[in-house]
A and B are shown apart, each in its own frame.
Chain A
Amino acid sequence: MPDDFVNVTIDGMPVAVPKGTPIIEAAKQAGILVPHYCYHPSLPSPAVCRMCLVEVEKAPKLMPACVTAVAEGQVVHVNSPTAKKAREGVLELLLINHPLDCPICDQAGECELQNYVFQEGRPGTRYKEYAKRYSPVEDFGPDVLYVPNRCILCTRCVRFMEDVAGAPVLNVSERGDRAFIGIAEQERLDHPWAGNVVDLCPVGSLLSKDFLHKARAWDLDKTASVCPGCTQGCNINLDTRDDVVVRIRPRPNLEVNRHFICDYGRMNYRWMNRGDRVEAPLVRDGTRHAATDWDTALARLEQVIRGATGSVVILASGRASTESLGLVRRMVDRPQVTAAVQVPLGDEAPLAGIPGLALRRERAPNLAGAALLGYTADWSAALLEARSAGIVLVLDADLAPEDEAVLAGAPGLVVMLATVMPEARNAELILPVTNMAEENGTYLNRDRRIQRYQQAKAQPGMARPAWWIAGEVLAGPGPDPTAPATAAEAFALLGEWWPILAGLTHDDLGFTGRVLSSAAAGVGSAR
């Protein structure tokens, strides 16, 4: 055991944790949840909710597990009668003024007050003769409502704005049981990262207007994903109900985004649900397009590629997966290829308290991946070249109308699109592809971390990931076992051409990704 570890016993379970670890985190290691409200691993701990009081042998009184560091030989009881009684006391007090309006509360089902009270099973209240505290709902900012009646004053929101966002626009106002979370008249909760206060709120006191009364927590399916909003690569969950993305929430990744995402990323999901989709492959038949099956479409695609002369231009979206970008690039493996990736730009919005975390100027998730795979960021040069190219492949790019008009005249135009492109009348093929919510894949973020995202909703109609289309073309006509059937298989193929990815598998990436380095290239092959 290294010197900087200490041994403690928590509810009979021995664990060794680094010196200085708070008991609450040590308990997690032992598989024991210490109930808490004010504590949050990405915020400073004020130890005010007093919910995490635990019994520490030889200590004169109960200790707050969130700020008490472990000590060698310490014996902690989280579920002793004394500790439980103290927690029940806190819950009784939190409930005296908390409205039991769970049926209309967005937080129901993922509410830490509801959950702990449920576990405890208290049937009634002794606070009968008095009216509950009542204050009207307040509009805090573009996407945040404050319901003071439900507030338990854990102050996570205040601390997030003050200590993490560095913009203290929320406060605790007044004292005693008159206290509430306040905001100044002339200020708004409109910081680019403000939406995190809604996630941080352990009860339904801070609500997202966007999500208000939209879905019950227990009806949501949560899918691990990566934010497609910029090159930061924040880990997220796509929350869906009945195949519709209804909310994006941060998924913890201490290396990338800790527990936070920006509001731009949070709101950047409506396009995933768009209904104006191409649902079947379309091949040009004279002046019109006809829907067909994939065998026919793939055969035609192969024909177009083989038959064309001159250069190839690929115009790809920065949202395209590493798998799709890679296999599409290989599909047209010939001397004169210009592959370009689109780089939408916006303003940078850092989260002051977390170094290395920002909404980035480059508003696409896989620009580093595209660069690694040989895509240029010189979009206008590629567009110019497209005018005289033999084949132009559009991979889910968001084209400006004037650019669409230019491409409309290109001879071998193939578009792989998630949504309808009005100016594609001249295209040889229009192939329906999935959007990132409808497929598995990987993105490489700006810090060279390659991370997986997973399919959150069904693909519409016959839409397929672009890597599948390219994989089929690469394998040639007819059934071929070498054609990748899954994104993982497609990913495994990339290593053949890009050695840095050799031997690396989806499984290796886990849920938090892996940073590519020259050493990383050998990881898989070493086994």
Chain B
Amino acid sequence: MGYPHPSHPKETVVLSQHFGDPEARSYAGWIKRGGYEGLRKALGMSREAIIEEVKASGLRGRGGAGFPTGLKWSFMPKEVVKPHYLVCNADESEPGTFKDREIMRWTPHALIEGCAIAAYAIGAERCYIYIRGEFTEPWKVMSAAVEEAAANGALGGNVFGSGKRIEMVLHRGAGAYICGEETGMMNSLEGRRGNPRIKPPYPAVAGVFGSPTTVNNVETLAAVPHILIRGAPWYKALCLGNPKSTGTKLVSVCGHVQRPGNYEVTMGTPMRDLLHDMCGGPPPGRTFKAVIPGGSSVPIMTIQEAEAALFDYEGIVEQGSMLGSAGMIVMDDSTDMVYQIWRLARFYAHESCAQCTQCREGTAWTTRILERILAGKGKQEDFQVLLDLADNMTGKTICVLSDSCAAPVVSGIQKFRSEFEAYIAGAREPALAMA
């Protein structure tokens, strides 16, 4: 449902059904809503059978990369030689994205159940849930839920009498966007700087603590119990567009819309429906100008591109951007694109882990150029330098943080060049004083 707003008829409510309902947070309340049936069913299945079911459902990673979940699980060794680990990525930090937060706040047991099923499927006895440090409320809710689940036998040394051991440990981050990148997260969990690692080795071979590891996003894991209960064909049928994009997706919509919030839609829903019907369109007297559809790391779409797109992995690519984490930042005609692109670049410069040269220096330099343009001291040559830097920051580093910084810059210059020109020509009042 479009939390915090009532459900919209164009939504398909699966994960968000109980958002806003405090009773669903408790173990008893969750059981009343059919909770833990998926885990009970899973415990009666073989590991392989669960993985096959999830593969058949077409579920893809909801963290941003869209990698098929069942396939990822199948990379884990069949024999458990070293301990296996499941790491749940609850470090939701991508600007524009706030869906995992709501899952943890309102339906913590859905996540715990999904984690338990996944842990069993990959042969892990321990699951770490890495929650970003700023999420103080989700932390409290999750802590209480884990305790309750353990007290009721849903976690622990003998889950629901099955003889299986599944332990869950909450781990608090401390303010670092890059820990949302899975290898950065593993380093952080090990008590290191959250620097992304070079791959190979891949996590399924040597992940956290040198052991085979699967990292899954909160929303991905929360969908798993539903798939087990209702079956892969049901999930797969939740698809309006490309058959490679199945199920429902929580879309976080923020910025200049009348009803910002989390909307759960079937993959393939037209973006126009999301923007105008579900979110109620732009604020009174305004018109839409641009949309960043997948969290701040993807190219900016003009409103024309956005309104022409189907909301699924392929549909957004067709219109020149990416689904990413499905955090939609909507901007109306009052938005200063140059200022906001600068603000994004500053975000990435602040969050760069400092490992790779292009990212460490490139994000900072990009920020400074944009700052200078905003201060009314831009030059025509700046376009070339910005584009060269973006090229230098794309596809050349360990992780994609610097690519993410380049994406809005390049798309911004391509699609909103006149706004840059206005600052450079002095046709627009400087928005910043230069330090």
Contact = CB atoms under 8 A, between A and B. Distances in A.
A89 interface: yes
Contacts of B372: 129
A48 B392 contact: no
A520 interface: no
A179 B359 CA distance: 12
B193 A176 contact: no
**Interface range for A:** 20 to 34
A50 B356 contact: yes
B226 to A, nearest CB: 35
B339 interface: no
Given A49-B356, A50-B356, A50-B357, 12 more contacts: A48-B356, A48-B357, A61-B396, A92-B392, A93-B365, A93-B392, A126-B385, A172-B193, A172-B354, A176-B363, A177-B361, A178-B354
Contacts of A487: none
Given A50-B397, A62-B396, A93-B365, A152 B357 contact: yes
B392 A46 contact: no
Contact of A153 (B350, B354, B388): B354
Interface string A69-106: 00000000000000000100110111011000000000
A91 to B, nearest CB: 9
Interface string B368-396: 10001000010001000100100110011
A67 interface: yes
Contacts of A178: 354
B335 interface: no
B364 A176 contact: yes
Interface string B307-350: 00000000000000000000000000000000000000000011
Nearest to A178: B354
A120 B398 CA distance: 25
Contacts of A67: 198
Interface of B: 176, 193, 198, 349-358, 360-365, 368, 372, 377, 381, 385, 388, 391-392, 395-398
Given A46-B198, A50-B397, A127 B365 contact: yes
Contacts of A172: 193, 354
A224 B362 CA distance: 42
Nearest to B388: A89
B361 A48 contact: no
A62 B395 contact: yes
Contact of A175 (B351, B381, B395): B351
A93 B396 contact: no
A179 B360 contact: yes
A118 interface: no
Interface string A161-184: 000000000001011111100000
Contacts of B363: 176-177
B198 to A, nearest CB: 5
Q: Which of A46, A153, A175 has the most C-beta atoms of chain B within 10 angstroms of its own C-beta? A: A175
B361 A94 contact: yes
Nearest to A86: B396
A130 interface: yes
A51 interface: yes
B368 A130 contact: yes
A189 interface: no
Interface of A: 46-51, 53, 61-62, 64, 67, 86, 89-90, 92-94, 96-97, 126-127, 129-130, 152-153, 172, 174-179
B351 to A, nearest CB: 7
A123 to B, nearest CB: 16
Given A47-B198, A177-B364, A90 B358 contact: yes
A94 B349 contact: no
Q: Which of A49, A67, A89 has the most C-beta atoms of chain B within 10 angstroms of its own C-beta? A: A89
A48 B398 contact: yes
B357 A51 contact: yes
26 contacts: A46-B198, A46-B355, A50-B356, A50-B358, A53-B396, A62-B396, A64-B198, A67-B198, A89-B388, A89-B392, A89-B396, A92-B392, A93-B392, A94-B357, A94-B361, A126-B381, A126-B385, A152-B357, A153-B360, A174-B354, A175-B353, A176-B351, A176-B354, A176-B360, A177-B349, A177-B354
A175 B347 CA distance: 12
A89 B402 CA distance: 14
A177 B360 contact: yes
Nearest to B368: A130
Nearest to A131: B435
Contacts of B364: 176-177
B230 to A, nearest CB: 38
Contacts of A89: 358, 388, 391-392, 396
Contacts of B350: 175-176
B326 to A, nearest CB: 25
Closest 3 CB pairs of A and B: A179-B354, A89-B392, A177-B364
